[in-house]
């Protein structure tokens, strides 16, 4: 059985649309939906049961963040496979069964499985990722030269924005928007649960790294698509605040991986300068041409 865990925080309509899409698209696999309401401040979470009486509703007394909410859901999970599914995803095809069947057949070394995520305009989201490194940060600074390398070799080397999501591949980490793993693997994690040190953002990378420390790899399955709305705000102030959060948590993950070594400090200098420059270039393009660069 697959336990599908969805977190709701003030997104009633989005969450309803997500649940409906799961129910409409999912066939030929036993599954349950566990909805965790993270202390929403709008509406009564019990209203979900009037629309979906068959789901399990877990009401958290506080908004403990994405990791904490998922751990609450896992406590109520009956399935041997866990799927963390964002509330702003829409299933158009039988992706859950496709992914679960693949994991069941190839699960010896696969820790986490994801599928091809797209924006609402069918543009691929870069959810097959490589861990950050000094090498990759430097190579990314010379992007025009990288584009001279044949696509398949470039995509395999760099992943991230260099990969179009058009073939199956192992990767270092995957987005938490569609994050499938065998429940038994929680036994390998610190505290035997998902690490809760981050309130939001960066936790998926952290979990994948922790799984990798026990020999379990991440895998990207290209043959089935899920829409991830990911409607991030374009308001510059919010984008800058988000950037600062992401940089801080990327650096914490690097410290977790490498310690406070010379490697860490060299990486931090290159990474912070590059990301801030990229942010201001994106902001300028948006201001001048009213075009947001993803």
Taking residues 236-255, what's their average pLDDT? 81
Q: What is the pLDDT of residue 246?
A: 86
This model's pTM is above 0.85: yes
Q: What is the pLDDT of residue 93?
A: 97
Instruction: Indicate the average pLDDT of the chain.
Output: 92
Q: What is the pLDDT of residue 234?
A: 41
Residue pair 218/208 in contact (Cβ under 8 Å)? The answer is yes
Q: Which residues contact 261 (CB under 8 A, 6 or more apart)?
A: none
Structure tokens of 91? 């299933």
Q: Where are the domains of the chain?
A: 2-228, 236-289
The CATH H-level (homologous superfamily) assignment of domain 2-228 is Spore Coat Polysaccharide Biosynthesis Protein SpsA; Chain A (3.90.550.10)
Instruction: List the single range of 9-23, 51-65, 224-238 with lowest mean pLDDT.
Output: 224-238
Bigger pLDDT: 294 vs 76: 76
pLDDT tens by residue, 22-65 = 999 999 999 999 999 999 999 899 999 999 999 999 999 999 99
Q: What is the pLDDT of residue 236?
A: 53
Residue pair 113/219 in contact (Cβ under 8 Å)? The answer is yes
Residue pair 184/74 in contact (Cβ under 8 Å)? The answer is no
pLDDT tens by residue, 66-85 = 999 999 999 999 999 999 99
Q: What is the pLDDT of residue 289?
A: 65
Taking residues 156-161, what's their average pLDDT? 95
Instruction: List the single range of 105-109, 248-252, 254-258 with lowest mean pLDDT.
Output: 105-109
Q: What is the pLDDT of residue 251?
A: 95
Rounded distance, CA 174 to CA 177, Å?
Answer: 9
Rounded distance, CA 257 to CA 107, Å?
Answer: 25
Rounded distance, CA 213 to CA 257, Å?
Answer: 10
pLDDT tens by residue, 86-137 = 999 999 999 999 999 999 998 788 999 999 999 999 999 999 999 999 999 9
Pairing of strands 89-91, 169-171: unpaired
Nearest to 294 by CA among 124, 115, 88: 124
């Amino acid at each position: 059985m697959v336990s599908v865990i969805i977190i709701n925080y003030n997104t009633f309509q989005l969450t309803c649309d997500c649940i409906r899409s799961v129910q409409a698209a999912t066939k030929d696999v036993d599954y349950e939906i566990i909805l965790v309401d993270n202390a929403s401040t709008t509406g009564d979470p019990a209203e979900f049961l009037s629309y979906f009486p068959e789901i399990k509703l877990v009401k958290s007394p506080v908004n403990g963040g994405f990791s904490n909410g998922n751990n609450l859901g896992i406590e109520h999970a009956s399935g041997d496979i866990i799927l963390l599914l964002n509330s702003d995803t829409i299933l158009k095809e039988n992706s859950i069964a496709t992914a679960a069947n693949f994991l069941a057949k190839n699960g010896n070394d696969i820790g986490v499985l994801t599928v091809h995520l797209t924006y609402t305009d069918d543009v691929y989201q870069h959810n097959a990722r490589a861990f950050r490194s000094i090498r990759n940060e430097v190579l990314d600074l010379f992007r025009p030269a990288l584009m001279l390398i044949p696509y398949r070799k470039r995509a395999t080397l760099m992943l991230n924005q260099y990969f179009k999501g058009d073939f199956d591949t192992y990767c270092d980490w995957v987005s938490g928007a569609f994050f499938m793993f065998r429940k038994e693997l929680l036994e390998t994690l610190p505290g035997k649960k998902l690490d809760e040190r981050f309130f939001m953002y960066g936790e998926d990378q952290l979990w994948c790294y922790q799984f990798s420390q026990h020999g379990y790899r991440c895998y990207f399955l290209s043959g089935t698509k899920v829409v991830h709305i990911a409607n991030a705000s374009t308001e510059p102030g919010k984008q800058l605040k988000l950037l600062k959060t992401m940089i801080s948590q990327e650096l914490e993950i690097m410290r977790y991986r490498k310690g406070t070594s010379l490697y860490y400090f060299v990486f931090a200098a290159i990474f912070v300068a590059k990301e801030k420059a990229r942010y201001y270039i994106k902001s300028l393009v948006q201001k001048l041409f009213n075009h947001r660069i993803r």
